[in-house]
């Protein structure tokens, strides 16, 4: 291979460390199938697409690592489209195009990331088109990643796009609240860093749409804890992650807005939420609203309590604990909470 060598597989990116959820289940399941029988399934090529930071590269590496781990006889090459282009250009400049072609012909599994960057590079596309045909005809597995679906990629010839559609295209969506929480808990378990439910909730609620940012937030807390021995309290975390979070969410969502949205979701009059009723469905809605107020606003517990009929801080603490307990055991409630979170997110984003 020319000097612009492809990157090696990241051993930390495995199927075990990839959190499966509705947002990525098809992509992960297909990835496992490809890794178990590369070049044999109808998922060839296997194209994973989705926005930046949603785990496409993790999944691509996981496929490669699983194949390598199953036996040394299968050769796997992972590279970005940029690396492929650089290798191709260097091969032309050095008059080693034959060596370049031979190297790729010897590969059993080719994984190319960020294929959208082939756009506009006509010579590179032509070379990749012939390589694709050769590998596919000989039953070799091709895995591709892109930040959008094939139909949305600009500047790529139709004959190459048609090849991308031969197998299976699977998208990965932004993670929901439950998935974001699971990702953080998984990192805590692997690293040994203990984060309270309050902190996990705060990060999961406020760092949305991008797993890479979520992991970046966790890594920052891990480094701060190890380097400074600072106790990770919620106020400290809010300050430490302010630049990550405030750049992405509106700081001024109010407790009243949260209360009104939760009330509307549960078909209740918002005024009832501040009343004295102890009916179960009203208490549940009130506790849910308090939970979101604590996670999404800068209000003190006392200030949150005042928004719900002058209740004291201990009532808010109890409400948040009750919500967490239900999250751990009640599948239906987890679904309801995720739905409410989506409504709150829409209000925040479009404010």
**What CATH code is carried by the domain that includes residue 53?**
3.40.50.300
**What span, in angstroms and rounded, lies between the C-alpha atoms of 155 and 288?**
48
Torsion-angle region of residue 39: left (phi > 0), alpha (psi -120 to 50) or beta?
A: left
Kindly list the distances between the CA atom of residue 48 and the CA atoms of 38, 90, 112, 148, in Å, as whole numbers in the listed order: 16, 28, 10, 9
Residues 267, 282, 310, CA angle at the centre, nearest 5°?
Answer: 115
Closest CA to 211 of 23, 9, 4, 8: 23
The last residue of one of the domains, among 144, 171, 198, is 171
Q: Both 332 and 281 in a single domain?
A: yes
CB hemisphere CA count around 129 (13 angstroms) = 15
Q: Both 159 and 59 in a single domain?
A: yes
3-class state of residue 171 by DSSP: strand
Q: Both 125 and 37 in a single domain?
A: yes
**What span, in angstroms and rounded, lies between the C-alpha atoms of 221 and 203?**
11
Number of domains in the chain: 3
Kindly list the distances between the CA atom of residue 136 and the CA atoms of 97, 133, 166, in Å, as whole numbers in the listed order: 20, 5, 10
Neighbours of 16 (CB within 10 A): 10
| Phi, psi (deg, nearest 5) at residue 233 | -90, 165
Q: List, for the chain, all residue ranges whose pLDDT scores fall below the cut of 50.
A: 1-6, 250-251
Predicted pLDDT of residue 39 = 92
Q: Both 274 and 338 in a single domain?
A: yes
Q: Both 227 and 154 in a single domain?
A: no
Contacts with 140 (C-beta within 8 Å, 6 or more apart), sequence order: 38, 39, 107, 108, 109, 110
CB hemisphere CA count around 194 (13 angstroms) = 5
Contacts with 28 (C-beta within 8 Å, 6 or more apart), sequence order: 15, 18, 20, 59
Q: Both 223 and 345 in a single domain?
A: no
Q: Both 186 and 312 in a single domain?
A: no
Predicted pLDDT of residue 4 = 38
Q: For residues 170 and 46, is the Cβ–Cβ distance under 8 A?
A: yes
Q: What is the CATH number of the domain that holds 324?
A: 1.10.1750.10
Q: What is the CATH number of the domain that holds 212?
A: 1.10.8.60
Predicted pLDDT of residue 330 = 86
Question: Going edge to edge, which strands form the sheet with 76-80?
Answer: 76-80, 109-113, 141-146, 46-49, 168-171
Torsion-angle region of residue 272: left (phi > 0), alpha (psi -120 to 50) or beta?
A: alpha
Q: Both 310 and 335 in a single domain?
A: yes
Predicted pLDDT of residue 151 = 84
The pTM assigned to this predicted structure is: 0.71
Structural domain containing residue 271: 255-349
Strand partners, 76: 109
């Amino acid at each position: 291979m020319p000097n612009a060598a492809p990157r090696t597989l990241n051993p930390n990116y495995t199927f075990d460390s990839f959190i499966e959820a509705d947002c990525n289940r098809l992509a992960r399941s297909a990835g496992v199938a490809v890794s178990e029988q590369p070049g044999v399934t109808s998922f060839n090529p296997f194209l994973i697409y989705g926005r930046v930071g949603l785990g496409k590269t993790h999944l691509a590496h996981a496929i490669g690592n699983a194949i390598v781990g199953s036996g040394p006889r299968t050769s796997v090459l992972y590279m970005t489209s940029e690396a492929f282009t650089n290798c191709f250009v260097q091969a032309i400049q050095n008059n080693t195009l034959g060596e370049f072609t031979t190297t790729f012909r010897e590969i059993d599994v080719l994984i190319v990331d960020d294929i959208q960057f082939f756009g506009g590079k006509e010579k590179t596309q032509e070379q990749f088109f012939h390589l694709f045909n050769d590998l596919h005809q000989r039953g070799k597995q091709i895995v591709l990643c892109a930040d959008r679906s094939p139909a949305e990629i600009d500047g790529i010839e139709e004959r190459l796009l048609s090849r991308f559609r031969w197998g299976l295209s699977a998208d990965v969506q932004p993670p929901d609240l439950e998935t974001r929480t699971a990702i953080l808990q998984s990192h805590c378990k692997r690293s040994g860093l203990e984060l309270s439910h309050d902190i996990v909730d705060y990060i999961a609620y406020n760092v949305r749409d991008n797993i890479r940012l979520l992991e970046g937030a966790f890594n920052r807390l891990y480094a701060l804890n190890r380097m400074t021995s600072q106790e990770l309290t919620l106020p400290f975390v809010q300050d430490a992650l302010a630049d990550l979070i405030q750049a992405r969410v509106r700081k001024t969502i109010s407790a009243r807005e949260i209360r009104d949205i939760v009330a509307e979701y549960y078909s209740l009059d918002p005024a009832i939420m501040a009343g004295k009723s102890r009916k179960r469905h009203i208490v549940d809605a009130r506790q849910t609203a308090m939970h979101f107020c604590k996670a999404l606003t800068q209000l003190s517990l006392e200030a949150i309590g005042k928004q719900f009929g002058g209740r004291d801080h201990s009532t808010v603490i109890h409400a948040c604990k009750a919500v967490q307990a239900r999250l751990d055991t009640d599948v239906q409630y987890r679904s309801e909470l995720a739905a409410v979170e989506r409504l709150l997110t829409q209000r925040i984003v479009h404010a």
